[in-house]
């Protein structure tokens, strides 16, 4: 029993890994302390940082002040091995990705992945949870740029509510949603917020919506003077603007002779690739045909002129729609199931369509618990707006969080060139084709720390320290998918693995690196101990501190890994 008690409080101190010791020896030139100039050389040569002497000096002083305010003068601003090791383990000073906006933000909107929510007003499941402005606010605070609202008449048919139609979800007034969007739209990012409206309204209520949005947003609201965009503007040009995206009223669609029907069309559609009839729309993707038949021209000009991004759904076969060479840019919506089917049958048509238009993908209607699908299928085919239930925690949402931690968390991530370019014969990238290895990513998992600060002593095991191991996964095109796992370190709050994994990558621009730490149990389910996802193209080379997050995507205060990244 006394042995178990001692094991419970055992905390090892393995010290710096060999790679850290070697880097210090090399850049300190064999001396016991590293000067500011030597530290700068390490940051530039080993970590491949774009760093000035002033930046290096500032980081060095931060390290010394954090460790001991009096040591700065004592050591004349030089780092010992322990100081150097401490710096490497600070994710705010030595994190794995650039935390500033650094992508070109002047390309057309369709050249970006856009952080997009689905049924953004729901607090829980898709059937009977409450509608509220709180999830909208939370999403905007987390950098989400695509907010979805379902518009329905209230019981008196004289105003507009937001709710998941034909379910038991409670309503919230539209005006309340619009006001909260205005107040929180740009707290996390200056780049545009796209409000996708699922419109189930009469023309009279459409007119009320038009009045609401103009009064609430004023000059913040962006819409083209001509009524229809010939080319999408850039995120840079749309800073601090709000854009409405929905289907035009039916008469306008008929008169414009577009190849895309309204997004809220009938849920049963025929796909040209075979004779299967698909019915995978969720309830809010269905139209209200009674209101469509009653539609008049009275409210249309004002309402339709406010639509910044016209939305649609395949009127003919999906493949014909993708290939139709639309004169004016659109947003097309597909369920996850239709996307998967199209990706299997005509992947290049999807990629080519997204080079000019916006593709939105939403969860299938059977995901009533607000679960999510794997977003990578949409991304590798160029889909910009992969719409997610932000309350639906799980591995799929972790991937979404990982993608949009990139580019400073601004909600827009520039698509890689392979998705936006055309070859000499207008050929485009085909994710299904075999590709040669382009780069090799080497990932070192050195050690981890912080669990004893963020968890209770008995959280993982009642009588002993946890038995940690780390899973490392590549998510991308099928040929790049890979899983690796470290050995299990038994009975230690500070696990020391010091293992390296090599991942040959064919399309590294489209890969995510998923990392998850677990506590191993022999007779029970393993305990979750932290996770993160990172876009491979965003990884900084060198030895890095990688913070971990809980199941909801909230960053732990102390838990982090020391890892190494090297590209060949």
* Same domain assignment for residues 391 and 299: yes
Q: What angle do CA 394, 138, 332 make, to 5 degrees?
A: 70
Residue 556 main-chain phi, psi, to 5 deg: -65, 150
* Same domain assignment for residues 246 and 278: yes
Give pLDDT < 70 ranges for the chain: 1-12, 69-75, 251-301, 315, 325-328
Supply the CATH number for residue 450's domain: 2.60.40.150
Residue 557 counted as domain residue: yes
Q: Quote the pLDDT of residue 12.
A: 67
Q: What angle do CA 539, 545, 547 make, to 5 degrees?
A: 90
* Same domain assignment for residues 48 and 79: yes
Residue 429 counted as domain residue: no
Catalytic one of 103, 111, 118, 401: 118
Residue 188 counted as domain residue: yes
Q: Quote the pLDDT of residue 259.
A: 37
Q: Quote the pLDDT of residue 74.
A: 53
Q: Burial of 425 by CB count in 10 Å (0-12 exposed, 13-18 middle, 19+ buried)?
A: exposed
Structural domain span for residue 455? 437-567
* Residue 501: C-alpha distances to residues 320, 428, 528, 533 (Å): 44, 32, 22, 17
Catalytic one of 103, 111, 164, 200: 164
Residue 176 counted as domain residue: yes
* Same domain assignment for residues 517 and 545: yes
Q: What is the 3-state secondary structure (H, E, C) of 507-540?
A: CHHHCEEEEEEEECCCCCCCEEEEEEEEEHHHCC
CA atoms of 517 and 471, how far apart (whole Å): 6
Strands 221-222, 242-246: pairing is parallel
CA atoms of 109 and 92, how far apart (whole Å): 31
Residue 103 counted as domain residue: no
Supply the CATH number for residue 56's domain: 1.10.238.10
CA atoms of 152 and 136, how far apart (whole Å): 18
Residue 13 counted as domain residue: no
Residue 99 counted as domain residue: no
* Same domain assignment for residues 447 and 515: yes
**Is residue 161 annotated as part of the catalytic site, yes or no?**
no
* Same domain assignment for residues 457 and 339: no
Q: Quote the pLDDT of residue 256.
A: 43
- What tokens appear for 174 in the block? 């539209």
The enclosing H or E element of 218 equals: none
Q: Tally helices (H) and strands (E) across the chain.
A: 20, 24
Strands 385-388, 468-475: pairing is unpaired
* Same domain assignment for residues 391 and 516: no
* Contact in structure between 56 and 43 (CB atoms under 8 Å): yes
* Same domain assignment for residues 147 and 23: no
* Residue 222: C-alpha distances to residues 98, 206, 228, 238, 240 (Å): 30, 18, 12, 8, 10
Q: What is the 3-state secondary structure (H, E, C) of 134-186?
A: HHHHHHHHCCCCEEEEEEEECCCCCCEEECCCCCCCCCEEHHHHHHHHHHHCC
Residue 451 counted as domain residue: yes
SS3 content of the chain, % helix, strand, coil (to 5): 30, 25, 45
* Same domain assignment for residues 442 and 391: no
Instruction: Say whether 339 sits in a helix, a strand or coil.
Output: helix
> Which among 289, 271, 293 is positioned nearest to 280, based on CA atoms?
271
Supply the CATH number for residue 306's domain: 3.20.20.190
Q: How many domains is the chain built from? A: 3
**Is residue 118 annotated as part of the catalytic site, yes or no?**
yes
CA torsion sign for 169, 172, 177, 183 is negative
> Which among 51, 144, 36 is positioned nearest to 98, based on CA atoms?
51
* Same domain assignment for residues 25 and 152: no
> Which among 357, 415, 359 is positioned nearest to 387, based on CA atoms?
359
Domain end marker among 367, 393, 420: 420
Q: Quote the pLDDT of residue 275.
A: 26
* Contact in structure between 331 and 368 (CB atoms under 8 Å): no
* Same domain assignment for residues 343 and 219: yes
* Contact in structure between 409 and 99 (CB atoms under 8 Å): yes
* Same domain assignment for residues 351 and 495: no
């Amino acid at each position: 029993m006394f042995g178990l008690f001692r094991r419970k409080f055992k905390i090892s101190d393995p010290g710096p890994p060999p790679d850290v010791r070697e880097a210090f020896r090399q850049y300190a030139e064999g001396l016991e302390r590293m000067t500011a100039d030597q530290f700068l050389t390490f940051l530039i040569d080993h970590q491949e940082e774009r760093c000035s002497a002033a930046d290096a000096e500032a980081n060095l002083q931060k390290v010394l002040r954090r460790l001991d305010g009096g040591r700065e003068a004592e050591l004349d601003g030089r780092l010992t091995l322990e100081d150097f090791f401490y710096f490497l383990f600070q994710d705010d000073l030595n994190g794995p990705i650039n935390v500033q906006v650094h992508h070109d933000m002047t390309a057309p909107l369709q050249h970006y992945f856009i952080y997009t929510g689905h049924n953004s007003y729901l607090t829980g499941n898709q059937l009977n949870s409450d509608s509220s402005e709180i999830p909208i606010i939370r999403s905007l605070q987390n950098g989400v740029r695509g907010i979805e609202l379902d518009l329905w008449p209230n019981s008196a048919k004289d105003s507009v509510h937001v709710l998941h139609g034909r379910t038991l979800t409670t309503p919230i007034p539209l005006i309340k949603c619009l006001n909260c969007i205005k107040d929180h739209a740009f707290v996390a990012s200056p780049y545009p917020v796209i409000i996708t409206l699922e419109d189930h309204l009469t023309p009279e209520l459409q007119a009320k919506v038009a009045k609401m949005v103009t009064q609430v947003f004023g000059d913040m609201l962006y819409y083209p003077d001509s009524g229809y965009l010939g080319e999408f503007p850039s995120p840079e040009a749309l800073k601090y603007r709000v854009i409405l995206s929905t289907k035009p009223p039916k008469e306008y669609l008929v008169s414009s002779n577009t190849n895309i029907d309204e997004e809220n069309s009938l849920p049963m559609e025929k796909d040209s690739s075979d004779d299967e009839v698909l019915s995978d729309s969720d309830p809010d993707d269905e139209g209200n045909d009674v209101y469509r038949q009653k539609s008049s021209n009275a409210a249309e000009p004002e309402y339709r002129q406010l639509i910044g991004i016209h939305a649609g759904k395949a009127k003919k076969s999906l493949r014909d729609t993708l290939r139709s060479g639309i004169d004016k840019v659109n947003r097309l919506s597909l369920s996850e199931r239709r996307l998967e089917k199209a990706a299997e049958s005509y992947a290049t048509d999807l990629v080519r369509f997204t080079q000019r238009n916006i593709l939105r993908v939403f969860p299938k209607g059977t995901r009533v618990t607000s679960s999510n699908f794997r977003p990578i299928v949409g991304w590798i085919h160029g889909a910009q707006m992969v719409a997610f239930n932000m309350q639906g925690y799980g591995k799929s949402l972790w991937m979404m969080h990982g993608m949009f931690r990139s580019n400073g968390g601004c909600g827009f991530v520039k698509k890689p060139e392979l998705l936006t370019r055309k070859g000499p014969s207008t050929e485009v990238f085909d994710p299904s084709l075999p590709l040669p290895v382009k780069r090799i990513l080497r990932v070192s998992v050195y050690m981890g720390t912080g669990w004893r600060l963020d968890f209770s002593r008995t959280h993982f095991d009642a009588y002993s320290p946890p038995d940690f191991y780390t899973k490392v996964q590549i998510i991308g095109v099928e040929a790049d998918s890979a899983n690796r796992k470290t050995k299990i370190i038994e009975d230690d709050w500070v696990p020391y693995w010091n293992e390296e994994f090599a991942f040959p990558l064919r399309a590294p621009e489209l890969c995510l690196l998923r990392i998850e730490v677990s506590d191993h149990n022999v007779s029970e389910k393993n305990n979750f101990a932290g996770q993160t996802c990172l876009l491979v193209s965003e990884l900084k080379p060198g030895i890095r501190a990688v913070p971990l997050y809980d199941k909801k995507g909230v960053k732990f205060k102390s838990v982090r890994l020391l890892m190494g990244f090297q590209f060949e």
